[in-house]
Amino acid sequence: MKKGLKIATIGGGSSYTPELVEGFIKRYNELPVKELWLVDIEEGKEKLEIVGDLAKRMVEKAGIPIDIYLTLDREEALKEADFVTTQFRVGLLDARAKDERIPLKYGVIGQETNGPGGLFKALRTIPVILDICREMERLCPNAWLINFTNPAGMVTEAVLRYSNIEKVVGLCNVPIGMEMGIAKLLSVEHSRVRIDFAGLNHMVYGLDVYLDGISVKDKVIDLLTDPRNSSFVKNIQGLGWEPAFLKALNALPCPYHMYYYKTRDMLEKDLKNAETEGTRAEVVQKLEKELFELYKDPNLNVKPPQLEKRGGAYYSDAAVRLITSIYTDKRDIQPVNTRNNGAIASIPDDSAVEVSCVITKDGPKPMAMGDLPVAVRGLVQQIKSFEKVAIEAAVTGDYNTALLALIINPLVPSDTVAKQILDEMLEAHKQYLPQFFKKISV
């Protein structure tokens, strides 16, 4: 077996990179990374250097022989890579801030993955990821593409359906966060808890929960709806749920379900935040500025604890755990975004789903989940419809298709409002959406 892996990280200048590096250091014994290529674009050069220097200090401190390379040349980074990870953000946080603020002007939640904001993130991101795929076909056709870039579900499906790269996995920290939260609620080690996950990215349900392999779903639902746990639950679930709802649902929603089952409350919260502390993108921008100030400190040679507030907690663990399981053919169970292949009934076989999988060297193998509970089947199908139409819009640059995606999104209250949002957002993101404008400019 080839020793000494090459990892290419697109968007290497991200503030998340120290987590990733920490992960590679921790698992070095199992996962012998030889080269880590952090690649970014011209606009990200300064950040890349700051975070790259920290990464170098981290591996030096750890005494691990991983070589860190910083580059703006994506092709050089991809060449013969074993794993490609993507954590880039087309248009940076400024674009995300627009994804959030523009819909709010029309009284609509932005939501950067499955909402109107997510549509625009998809429109900006999918053409870039498909470019990367074409380069991978040429430069590292056997590499695995591990995508953290949101909207992770749509990106994964776009790669599966519109590129020749089959070795792609979409990764999200929501499911692992749910498992860890439930473990805390049960006061047990995370490793003793396992959830059967099924659904879509940011629309995933825990169909069952096991403690030491025995179902404890009823107990967990009781705990989640016990008023004595309310502050704890709000912490992991956001606003908390109506107890009778959770009992009737008989499954665990994820925090993002708040957008769909508590739309009015979330809208109010988003509007209030936008007026006070700023949207999530704006808060993160401030956090990032502070983080990069920290990262500059030449004495810092470990991941600073402040990074956890950034929101991507466990990403490091999730990503490196996944890469390690693929590399070592570990056959452990992890929830990832992958080709459905019949695991979830009513979703096409070739669609991406987020589902508990056995991770092998041949990739994730989803566990058959059968039919989703009747009460959740509709919403999951609706978001999948949205995703599929949004992907088509991203690939074709067709105005009407983009409008259709917005209108069928459950957060959008009317076709007329959809058109207003679409027109304003297309204009606002114009520079990142050449597929929608090139025809006009001709």
Calpha distance 220→207 (Å, rounded): 12
Helical ranges in 163-229 per DSSP H? 174-186, 217-225
Judged by beta carbon, residue 60 or residue 415, the one nearer its own copies is 415
Q: Which residues of 132-158 are buried (b: 16+ CB within 10 A; e: fewer)?
A: bbebbeebbeebbbbbbbbbbbbbbbb
Min dist CB 369 to its own copies, Å, is 7
396 sits near its own copies (criterion: CB under 8 A): no
Positions in 247-266 near its own copies (CB under 8 A): 247-249, 261-265
- Binding-site residue numbers are 96, 150, 172, 202
60 sits near its own copies (criterion: CB under 8 A): no
| Span of 11-19, 92-100, 115-123, 395-403 interacting with its own copies by CB under 8 A | 395-403
Judged by beta carbon, residue 164 or residue 306, the one nearer its own copies is 164
442 sits near its own copies (criterion: CB under 8 A): no
SS3 335: strand
The total number of residues shown for the chain amounts to 442
Q: Which residues of 303-321 are buried (b: 16+ CB within 10 A; e: fewer)?
A: beeebeebebbbbbbbbbb
**Binding test (CB under 8 A) with its own copies, winner from 164, 235, 306, 346:** 346
Judged by beta carbon, residue 93 or residue 249, the one nearer its own copies is 249
**Binding test (CB under 8 A) with its own copies, winner from 27, 47, 321, 388:** 388
Positions in 130-149 near its own copies (CB under 8 A): none
**Helix 399-408 with 116-139: angle, nearest 10 deg:** 120
Q: Which residues of 202-211 are buried (b: 16+ CB within 10 A; e: fewer)?
A: bbbbbbbbeb
**Binding test (CB under 8 A) with its own copies, winner from 218, 242, 275, 427:** 242
Q: How many CB atoms lie within 10 A of CB 346?
A: 12
Q: What is the DSSP string of 222-270?
A: HHHH-GGGHHHHHHHHSS---HHHHHHHTSBPPGGGHHHHSHHHHHHHH
- Binding-site residue numbers for substrate are 96, 150
Active site residue 256: yes
Judged by beta carbon, residue 220 or residue 343, the one nearer its own copies is 343
Instruction: Give the amino acid at 344.
Output: I
Positions in 81-110 near its own copies (CB under 8 A): 107
214 sits near its own copies (criterion: CB under 8 A): yes
**Binding test (CB under 8 A) with its own copies, winner from 218, 329, 438, 439:** 329
**Binding test (CB under 8 A) with its own copies, winner from 254, 369, 421, 433:** 369
Residue 54 phi, psi (nearest 5): -60, -45
Positions in 193-212 near its own copies (CB under 8 A): 194, 196, 208, 210, 212
Active site residues: 256
